[in-house]
Amino acid sequence: MIVLLDSSALIAYLKTEPGASVVDSYLSNQINVCAVHAINLCEVYYELLRLTDQVRAKETISRLLVAGLIVREDMDTEFWQEAGNYKATIKRVSLADCFCLALANRLGAEIITADRHEFGPLVEQKICKARFIR
């Protein structure tokens, strides 16, 4: 199964917040393909920089990659236009989450997230599939 981890899920995992065990179960199950868009991983990186320093932030990102997280850098015209369409039509969603939505659509993936505020309404509107970790 392909799952797409958004920044809120990865940050919860790294900070051992509620829901971290759900993320861990996805990362540790070899049946799953766990991916993240580079823009969402950038959100994780800058959050780590705010909490620690550049060396620790880079080491933490490296640990995620060793754990099997696949970074997608999709940015072809069709892709960024789809993200832009989401941003233009769905007012409360961050641009980074629009990239997450576009990638989920491209991969046919379920989004793993802690962010009910942004993704809850999108699930209700059948714009995406999401599993909430808490």
* Distance in angstroms (rounded) separating the CA atoms of residues 109 and 9: 15
CATH class of 2-132: alpha beta
- Count of CB atoms situated within 10 Å of the CB of 99: 26
Cβ-based neighbours of 125, under 8 Å, separated by 6 or more: none
Q: Where are the domains of the chain?
A: 2-132
Tokens of 79: 């892709």
pLDDT number for residue 91: 80
First to last CA, the chain: 20
Per-residue pLDDT tens over the stretch 36-65: 999 999 999 999 999 999 999 999 999 999
Q: pTM of the predicted model, to two decimals?
A: 0.96
| Average predicted confidence (pLDDT) for the chain | 97
* Distance in angstroms (rounded) separating the CA atoms of residues 53 and 2: 32
In the chain, % of residues over pLDDT 90: 99
pLDDT number for residue 92: 85
Tokens of 27: 């990362």
